[in-house]
Amino acid sequence: MKNILIPINKLGIGGMEKVLINIANNLDIGKYKVHIAYVEDGSYKSLVKPHVELTKLPTKNTARLPKEILKIAYLKNIDVILHSWPKLAVYSYLQSTHLKTNIPTIFRVPISLNRYIEHRKILNNVIVRRLISNTLKSSDKIIALCNEMSDELIEKFQVPRDKLRVIHNPIDIDHIDQKMVEYNPFENSRSVNIVSIGRLEHQKGFDVLIKAFAKVIKDIPNAKLTIIGHGSQKEKLEKLAKNLYLSDYIQILPWMDNPYPYLHYADLFVLPSRYEGFPNVLLEALACGTKIVATDCPSGPKEIIDAKYGWLAKSEDPDDLSQKILIALKTEIDKKALKERAREYSLKKIVREYEETIDIATRPKVLIFTPKLGGGGAEKIAVMLANHFTERFNTTIAYIEDGAYSKLLSDKVRKVKVLSKRTRWIIFEMEKIYRLERPRIIFTTQPHATLSIEIWRTLTKRPVKTVARLQNLPETVTKNALKRALYTLAFTKPDVLIAQCYDMKEHLQKTFNIPTEKLHVIYNPVDIQEINKKMTEHNPFEDKDAINILSVSRLEYEKGIDVLLKAFKIVKNQIPKAKLTILNTGSYEEKLKQLTQELNLEDDVEFLGWQDNPYKYMHHADVVVLPSRREGFPNTLLEALACGAKVVATDCPTGPAEMIGKDEEYGWLAPVDNPEKLAEKIIEAITSNKKKAEKYINEKLNPEKTFERFSKIIVKTLEMGEK
């Protein structure tokens, strides 16, 4: 059972309030418990069904409401807050720093916010827009009431498209059918009756309607205009009618619980608004089978009506509005078609869409941080995990630098670019990222990022759990006292720490005294399906007679490519047909190319840079070599094994020995930093008929099983932090 909280200003008068009550009443009571927190009583209170819990808020001061709403949220164990009150949503965002909540929010935008700002002539327009933009972005889901509103939110407020969903307002057609025939307010009238309903405010454009009506009555002297509503503009509108000598032809009636007879028995309904959200009253007029004229204002009217269902007039143009009214009054229209159009916005259909949105918004949110969307195995695993997590969690990936892996990301993964140039400085951006994303778990794959996030979490006390996946062991951690202290913080503070192999786990326990229950071992996942698909592409090695040795590693000191070059010199002396191909890039590239020249190997060594498909090289190579000085759990080795390649690796910490086996069951192991022994193992591999290792990969490193283990750890970690 999910608990939903809906804050409402007043239980009466507006279309927005009626929509929210309709949704609250009709959500599946077997799945959702709805709580409405309201400020003022009103006539709609009687419409709230008994299973919806009402709580009156103790203050009318909007700035004080977020704290009161949060009290209710914790008391009622609320799973999601559905906002449709922009001012309150903005105040909640502004106070989120000290209120420290990560309860998911859905922001249902009730009106065109852009036009609202423009028409109100709000001072500090830029600041207000930025506030609204940040409030929207910090929501887990945003509901726009029509496509035009959705486009506006993207263009004017930079709302991410993946957070948006268009859900139209619903109407209870059965209720309207019953209520609209209760009485006929025009029973004894011989007039042509025009009706308009709405709050008597500038936004609703009743002044424009009265001016248009002054022109209509010249053509139709027996026309009458009935306006139903409350609002601050009532006296101004009455004065305008009097000045235009229309007092005998216009009546302004107070808001009423059942306006449907006025709609049903009217000759025409007119909506003269300057801007809207998605005007429910238009849908209600359609459900009553009444002809409609509406202004083509933002947003909603033109999505509801067209030439088949009504007429659109220019906004704030009394002349055009009067002409459209006259055309409508003189034109017959099929009432059944109007009612059928209304059924497209049935309450049952719309409520189902709200339920789907609530279910998505309440899924736990996971934020994965990776320095780059490209380059190494760790970054690729971060992308693979993000894609897998979308099946169960709302997933965001935060990154510093874009890269080739970006195109591998699922559309369901949100991307957030971090402005910091170096991982250690993300501490200064974490608060902003948190307020916009509000994850329940932050998943890191790099020690500097883990350290920065743990310092931020300690300082801010944000209610977020952390899972750190260690990609390799820091080289200097045991040699430098300051670094040791910092890494101790990085490795002991996370709620869960994931080592890539048992050798790494053992080292972490010895060095940092990490409790066993915090430490898990999960081997790197290998996308066997992708590898099988790509590895059989054409043979990339031009010289088919050559003995092709391959290395796929970042060109950095720790990867030991300099040792491989020296070993290759020895191999070349014994196997003249040998060729060495090196894939990837890095800061040591120029030094390695210089070493290649010094060893007179320019004709036999190729640096091909980054390749989108390294698997065809691995599959067609005679041997794949990993000469690293240290590793985490090298994905390259796993991928090479999956390609059926013979593999040679150094017995470095950590990972290779665990993969290949101490008895060299699946490959060959050479000592670290020993070109002679490495050359010996490469030659042994080239001349050997040892079996391929696909079976090992398929059985022990099945990607689905690996991903599922990560997901289970996320779920377990979430359970540590239940509200």
Percent of the chain at pLDDT above 90? Answer: 65
pLDDT above 60 (res 694): no
Task: Give the pLDDT confidence score for residue 120 in this predicted structure.
Answer: 65
d(CA 326, CA 190): 17
d(CA 134, CA 348): 32
Count Cα atoms within 13 angstroms, Cβ side, for 214.
Answer: 15
CA 35 to chain centroid:
25
Terminal CA-to-CA distance of the chain, rounded, Å?
Answer: 15
Count of CB atoms situated within 10 Å of the CB of 482 = 7
Confidence of residue 614 (pLDDT cuts 50, 70, 90): very high
What average pLDDT score do residues 171-182 get?
93
Task: Give the pLDDT confidence score for residue 473 in this predicted structure.
Answer: 63
pLDDT above 70 (res 326): yes
Least confident range from 31-35, 231-235, 392-396, 705-709: namely 705-709
Confidence of residue 479 (pLDDT cuts 50, 70, 90): low
The pTM of the full predicted model, rounded to 2 decimals, is 0.73
Count of CB atoms situated within 10 Å of the CB of 507 = 18
Q: Which three-class secondary structure string do you get for 20-74?
A: HHHHHHHCCCCCEEEEEEEEECCHHHHHCCCCCEEEECCCCCHHHHHHHHHHHHH
Q: Which contiguous run of DSSP H or E holds residue 176?
A: helix 173-179
pLDDT above 60 (res 485): yes
Residues 6+ apart with CB under 8 A from 188: none
Joined together, the tokens standing for residue 80 give 């999601």
d(CA 698, CA 642): 8
369-373, 378-382, 589-593: which is most confident: 589-593
d(CA 64, CA 583): 60
Angle at alpha carbon of residue 161, lines to 156 and 166, rounded to 5°: 90
Least confident range from 49-63, 83-97, 144-158, 197-211: namely 83-97
Give the dihedral of Cα atoms 653, 655, 660, 663; nearest 10 deg: 50
Count of CB atoms situated within 10 Å of the CB of 611 = 15
**Model confidence pLDDT, tens digit, residues 396-444:** 999 999 988 998 899 899 999 998 888 888 888 998 899 888 899 999 9
Angle between helices 125-138 and 147-157 (to 10 degrees): 120
Confidence of residue 476 (pLDDT cuts 50, 70, 90): very low
CA distances from 292 to 186, 204, 295 (A): 18, 16, 10
Joined together, the tokens standing for residue 483 give 């670094």
pLDDT above 60 (res 478): no
Task: Give the pLDDT confidence score for residue 474 in this predicted structure.
Answer: 57
- What DSSP letter does each residue of 108-141 carry, written as one string? E--S-HHHHHHHHT-SSHHHHHHHHHHHHHHSSE
pLDDT above 70 (res 569): yes
Mean pLDDT (the chain) is 90
Task: Give the pLDDT confidence score for residue 723 in this predicted structure.
Answer: 42
SS3 content of the chain, % helix, strand, coil (to 5): 45, 20, 35
What average pLDDT score do residues 655-678 get?
89
Task: Give the pLDDT confidence score for residue 14 in this predicted structure.
Answer: 75
Count Cα atoms within 13 angstroms, Cβ side, for 216.
Answer: 30
Task: Give the pLDDT confidence score for residue 575 in this predicted structure.
Answer: 96
Task: Give the pLDDT confidence score for residue 484 in this predicted structure.
Answer: 74
**Model confidence pLDDT, tens digit, residues 238-265:** 999 999 999 999 999 998 989 999 999 9
Domains and CATH numbers, the chain: 2-166 (3.40.50.2000), 173-345 (3.40.50.2000), 363-521 (3.40.50.2000), 528-700 (3.40.50.2000)
